[in-house]
Amino acid sequence: MVDLSVKIGDITLQNPVQPASGAFSWEYNDVIDLNRLGALVAKTICREPRLGNPTPRMAETEAGIIQSIGLPGKGIDYFIAHIVPEYAKFTPPLVVSVSSETIEDFAALAEELSVPDVDVIEANISCPTRNSTGGNFAMHEDYTRDCIKAIRAKTKKPLWVKLSPNAGDIVSIAKAAEAAGADALVIANTFLSLKIRTDNFRPALGNKFGGLVSPALKPIVLRMVYQVAKQVKIPIIGIGGVTKAEDVVEYMLAGASAVGIGYAGFRNPTALISIIDDLAAWCDERGITKVTELIGAVRDQDMETDTLAAASVGV
Amino acid sequence: MTLDPNHNYSNAALRIGDVDRYPRRRVGEFIGIVASNAGVNDEYRHIVVKVHEQALKAYAGQMFHLLCPSPDGAEVWMRRPMSVYRVDKAAGAVEFLYKIEGRGTRGMGKLQPGDEFNIAGPLGAGFKLEPAWKNIVVLGRGVGLATLAPLSQLAAEQGVGVTAILSARHQGVVMSKALFEELGARTVTVLDSDGTSAVENVERVIEELIAARKADAFFTCGSNRLLKLTQRLGKKHNIPGQVAMEQIMVCGFGACYVCMRTFEVDGKRVLRRVCREGPVFNMQEAVGW
């Protein structure tokens, strides 16, 4: 029997597989047993009720889908009164994702969301279709530090910070978040993208820009997780392109303690369950008794490379 | 790049005969087997998919989310929502009637008997027949008639009389006529080719049905024009109705909020999810498209 449990700060997850915020709701209970997931991650909530962006909200591209939803929701009061109790019916920890356009409101929201049934606050400072001074604080080191510091001062709940892959230097931003009091880092949100239709010359999405969601993101985000893991001490949740158990293994080898999954659950509604089962089988076949053995276990110090091959082509 | 549709990430999907280990299930991810997939006329195709018994719970107006194979070697990233055409409980199969429009349906057209086909569902809220309705009018156009066809089965089971107004460009592409008639519905075909599909003529046909007390409720799909017409006549004569709508869809479970449509409720505009609150909605609240 493989021990799949992992710790993210003080929170223990029964396995390292959780849904990504925005790609999940308790309504998936219709098709999978939510009690088997590592954590439950609610859609990002804002203070005000929001309708979201104009349709179409999704378009297919050659290498994945782009989507721009616009954080629709019924606002924080409805969320605490009606949505949190829906999640409380299940056993895994509840991660509540939150977003705001100002630092003061962000902190106030985090405080108001610090109710008993909420286990973790995930600060979504990286919604790709918001600008860097109006919610997408993760584009900039200073904004990230100021925002996370303010949230930290208002909540004792574990605080996870979701970073942007669209920032130039994600390592500096990750370090800023850690210094400001983050308990874990979620790497990363979606990649800002655009599709233009050649039949009518118009952007394919109602909001023009969208975030790219695709297995194609995995090598890029994996690189970010690897780089950040070398520079911070807090745990990392890797999100980007996970479609199978080996992808979870890869993220953990790079230094992640857990993964979030979006696209795979859209494609195969039962994918998260398959991935958890397959991860246990993968470990079992290799005599790995604790999945935590994989965290940061990448063999980057004893690589076998042929230096002569490089020399022969003149590098 | 392409992903294998039935490897790795769908080990938890149900194949025919599998024991279902999730008793709270309302929806399944099923790996069915194609029994047949053939053209029915110049434009439409009919596919029969043998599936796990849990998929046979689908009723009229509900959808399955289809993981279509690639038609061209490149990935088809998202499932395609499609309403169920027929549920054949005896044969253990669900059936779909479709028109090849884009890459998803093009890939679907290539499926051969014996191929695996991954479908998730049944999704959404379908058609509902109120006990007070003794005679209903079903109006559809094009592939929208595939969505309305199982209503005839539902109505026949509940002893409700059906008049189906089938609208099409020409006689060669009239859909579902045989299926409606087989189940006792009276059909009226209206065509663009002879002008009978014009709004004035369809309106006259409906007014006659109303006068003959054969229109306790309207059901429509596939035509904005027919929706507007039945909304108007419904208001005029105080006759309720339901409309099946579609929208680009991602998750199918109400999580992603991609498949939104606008509705007007008590004078206010609201957004609803086609996958969850729909795909069948109160006709009078639909804003159309």
Closest CA to B126 of B288, B276, B227, B232: B276
Tell me, what amino acid is at A257?
A: S
Tell me, what amino acid is at A107?
A: A
Domains of chain B: 24-123 (2.40.30.10), 135-241 (3.40.50.80)
Give the minimum alpha-carbon distance from A301 to chain B in angstroms, rounded to a whole number: 31
Q: Which member of B29, B255, B261 has the closest CB to residue A27?
A: B255
Closest CA to A22 of A189, A141, A237, A235: A189
Look at B67 and A30 and tell me if their CB atoms are within 8 Å.
Answer: no
Q: Which member of B27, B247, B256 has the closest CB to residue A31?
A: B27
Q: Tell me the C-alpha distance between A24 and B190, whole Å.
A: 44
Ramachandran class of A164: left when φ > 0, alpha when ψ lies in -120 to 50, beta otherwise: beta
Cα-atom radius of gyration of chain A, to the nearest Å?
19
Closest CA to A67 of A55, A83, A75: A55
> Mean pLDDT across the stretch A225-250?
97
pLDDT tens-digit series, residues A93-110? 999 999 999 999 999 999
Chain A partners of B120 at a C-beta cutoff of 8 Å? 31, 269
CB pairs under 8 A between A and B: 128
pLDDT tens-digit series, residues A30-42? 999 999 999 999 9
Look at B27 and A72 and tell me if their CB atoms are within 8 Å.
Answer: no
Look at B77 and A267 and tell me if their CB atoms are within 8 Å.
Answer: yes
Residue A285, number of CB atoms within 10 A of its CB: 9
Asked whether residue A312 carries a pLDDT value surpassing 70, the answer given is no
Q: Which member of B1, B10, B247 has the closest CB to residue A270?
A: B10
Close Cβ partners of B234 (under 8 Å, ≥ 6 residues apart): B218, B240, B241, B283, B284
Tell me, rounded to whole angstroms, the distance of Cα A123 from its chain centroid.
11
Query: DSSP letters along B196-263, please?
Result: TTSHHHHHHHHHHHHHTT--SEEEEES-HHHHHHHHHHHHHHT--EEEE-----SSSSSSS--SEEEE
Annotated active-site residue A283? The verdict is no
- Residue in A closest to B23 by C-alpha: A33
> Could you check whether the bond before residue B279 is cis, i.e. omega within 30 degrees of 0?
yes
Question: Considering chain A, what percentage of its residues have pLDDT values greater than 90?
Answer: 91
| Residue B275, burial from CB neighbour count under 10 angstroms (0-12, 13-18, 19+) | buried
> Mean pLDDT across the stretch B143-160?
90
Q: Would you say the ipTM is above 0.85?
A: yes
pLDDT tens-digit series, residues A78-91? 999 999 999 999 99
State the pLDDT at residue A21.
96
Chain A partners of B25 at a C-beta cutoff of 8 Å? 30-31
Report DSSP state, residue B50.
E
Look at B10 and A271 and tell me if their CB atoms are within 8 Å.
Answer: yes
Chain B partners of A17 at a C-beta cutoff of 8 Å? none
Give the minimum alpha-carbon distance from A312 to chain B in angstroms, rounded to a whole number: 32
State the pLDDT at residue B1.
59
Q: Tell me which of A46, A127, A147, A283 is the catalytic residue.
A: A127
State the pLDDT at residue A305.
78
State the pLDDT at residue A132.
59
Tell me, what amino acid is at B56?
A: L
- Locate the domains of chain A by residue range: 6-294
Classify B145 as helix, strand or coil: helix
Asked whether residue A299 carries a pLDDT value surpassing 60, the answer given is yes
Look at B256 and A72 and tell me if their CB atoms are within 8 Å.
Answer: no
Tell me, rounded to whole angstroms, the distance of Cα B125 from its chain centroid.
11
Asked whether residue A148 carries a pLDDT value surpassing 80, the answer given is yes
Q: Are A120 and A154 in contact (CB under 8 A)?
A: no
Look at A273 and B12 and tell me if their CB atoms are within 8 Å.
Answer: yes
Close Cβ partners of A108 (under 8 Å, ≥ 6 residues apart): A154
pLDDT grade, residue B179 (50/70/90)?
Answer: confident
Asked whether residue A315 carries a pLDDT value surpassing 60, the answer given is no
- Residue in B closest to A66 by C-alpha: B77
- Residue in B closest to A273 by C-alpha: B12
Give the minimum alpha-carbon distance from A315 to chain B in angstroms, rounded to a whole number: 31
Asked whether residue A294 carries a pLDDT value surpassing 60, the answer given is yes
The two beta strands, B161-168 and B186-191, are: parallel
Q: Which member of B27, B250, B254 has the closest CB to residue A58?
A: B250
Look at A268 and B118 and tell me if their CB atoms are within 8 Å.
Answer: yes
> Mean pLDDT across the stretch A125-141?
81
Q: Tell me the C-alpha distance between B136 and B209, whole Å.
A: 10
CATH number of this structure's domain A6-294, picked from the four choices 3.40.1190.20, 3.20.20.70, 3.40.47.10, 3.40.50.1820 = 3.20.20.70
Chain B partners of A273 at a C-beta cutoff of 8 Å? 12
Question: Considering chain B, what percentage of its residues have pLDDT values greater than 70?
Answer: 97
* Site from B253, B262, B272, B275 to mutate, A interface, most A CB atoms within 10 angstroms: B253
Give the minimum alpha-carbon distance from A162 to chain B in angstroms, rounded to a whole number: 18
- For residues A180-204, one letter each, b for 16 or more C-beta atoms within 10 angstroms of the residue's C-beta and e for the rest, the string is bbbbbbbbbbbbbbebeeeeeeebb
- Residue in A closest to B103 by C-alpha: A60
Look at B253 and A43 and tell me if their CB atoms are within 8 Å.
Answer: no
Look at A56 and B248 and tell me if their CB atoms are within 8 Å.
Answer: yes
Closest CA to A94 of A4, A190, A32, A19: A19
Report DSSP state, residue A268.
-
Asked whether residue B8 carries a pLDDT value surpassing 70, the answer given is no
Q: Tell me the C-alpha distance between A310 and A300, whole Å.
A: 18
Q: Are B75 and B2 in contact (CB under 8 A)?
A: yes
| Residue B7, burial from CB neighbour count under 10 angstroms (0-12, 13-18, 19+) | exposed
Asked whether residue B121 carries a pLDDT value surpassing 60, the answer given is yes
> Mean pLDDT across the stretch B5-19?
78
* Site from A57, A89, A266 to mutate, B interface, most B CB atoms within 10 angstroms: A266
Report DSSP state, residue A80.
I
Q: Are B62 and B83 in contact (CB under 8 A)?
A: yes
Q: Which member of B11, B25, B258 has the closest CB to residue A69?
A: B258
Token couple for B144:
């929208």
Q: What is the value of pTM for the model shown?
A: 0.93
Q: Tell me the C-alpha distance between B135 and B216, whole Å.
A: 6
pLDDT grade, residue B175 (50/70/90)?
Answer: confident
pLDDT tens-digit series, residues B185-240? 999 999 999 999 999 999 999 999 999 999 999 999 989 999 999 999 999 999 99
Bridge partner residues of A65 (DSSP) = A60, A213
Q: Are B64 and B155 in contact (CB under 8 A)?
A: no
